[in-house]
A and B are shown apart, each in its own frame.
Chain A
């Protein structure tokens, strides 16, 4: 059991820190233009997307404390980021699903790790292997939404949930 009290990952500052983590990851590793956006802009960007979305979830744990961070983004943004990350020529045939899932998993892993490091430098969180799914449903903005972002004019939604002590052991990936 950890001797250090878990940080308040759900404080008002958390959203700002998550947005900062997204900016750091998107700019440094994907050379992308990234901005926070309000609900209206996010809805506008999301409305322009067809029904192809990817959702990546990373569970994190430290002692008895566990939570999960998820990133929802359109498949087109995943392709765009993959091109920037690997140097792939967009004129080449589309990357396979496995490559896109790997890319989106790594993106969410980096966002989660960067955010946790900023929020709790003194603690060592264990991150699960990201679970990535394809969905035809547009992501819903809800109480667990902590950041709405525009990356290269595509939408990215980040949500964070506290899983609590009871469900910590059952958290996927541990």
Chain B
């Protein structure tokens, strides 16, 4: 499984990466991007199975990234997960319309992230 982490905080990317390392999931590669535009460039250039994205980021937000992914229709099997401080009902509704598999609200415990990753990994493999 190849994972792309999109978050403007290097600290948050490091934490997510650390939790991924603690799981026993079959992870081949973890790639990082600091915003949506950078994530799109990575998606264009390499295979990614699972996308973990923040919402509020400078340049291109996570929602804009997900809209662009839907519009381009190039990655139908990409499993999409949002990790955000914004847990509002309207944001969750918006995410559901963008084919988001899981919505993880910050702050989260590593155990919760691990569960979300396991769930998402199941979707990748099936």
Chain B nearest CB from A92 CB (Å) reads 14
B15 on interface, CB distance cutoff 8 Å: yes
Chain B nearest CB from A24 CB (Å) reads 6
For the complex, count residues of A whose C-beta is within 8 A of B. 29
Chain B nearest CB from A115 CB (Å) reads 10
B105 on interface, CB distance cutoff 8 Å: yes
**Contact mask for chain A residues 101-139; partner B; CB cutoff 8 A; 1 contact, 0 none:** 011011001101110110011111111010000000000
Check if B107 sits within 8 Å of A99, measured CB to CB: no
User: Which of A29, A99, A120 counts the most chain B CB atoms within 10 A?
Assistant: A29
Chain B nearest CB from A3 CB (Å) reads 11
User: Which of A28, A105, A116 counts the most chain B CB atoms within 10 A?
Assistant: A28
Of the listed stretches B36-44, B87-95, B115-123, name the one at the interface; the rest are far from the partner chain. B87-95
Check if A127 sits within 8 Å of B88, measured CB to CB: no
- Majority DSSP secondary structure for residues of A touching B: helix
Knowing A25-B107, A110-B106, A129-B8, the reply to whether A124 touches B18 (Cβ < 8 A) is: no
Partner pick for A109 among B14, B85, B87, B94, CB 8 A cutoff: B85
Check if B9 sits within 8 Å of A85, measured CB to CB: no
Chain A nearest CB from B101 CB (Å) reads 20
Check if B87 sits within 8 Å of A85, measured CB to CB: no
CB contact list, A70-100 vs B, under 8 A: 82, 85-87, 99
User: Which of B89, B91, B94, B107 counts the most chain A CB atoms within 10 A?
Assistant: B107
Chain B positions within 8 Å of A126 at CB level:
56
Chain B nearest CB from A36 CB (Å) reads 18
Chain A nearest CB from B93 CB (Å) reads 9
Would you list 14 pairs from A and B whose C-beta atoms are within 8 A, ordered by A residue? A29-B15, A82-B11, A102-B9, A102-B10, A106-B9, A110-B107, A112-B85, A113-B85, A113-B86, A113-B106, A114-B106, A117-B88, A125-B86, A129-B56
Given A103-B11, A113-B84, 11 more A-B residue pairs with CB atoms under 8 Å apart are A25-B107, A86-B18, A102-B11, A106-B9, A106-B12, A114-B85, A116-B86, A117-B87, A117-B88, A122-B89, A129-B56
Ranked 3 nearest A-B pairs via Cβ? A113-B85, A29-B107, A28-B107
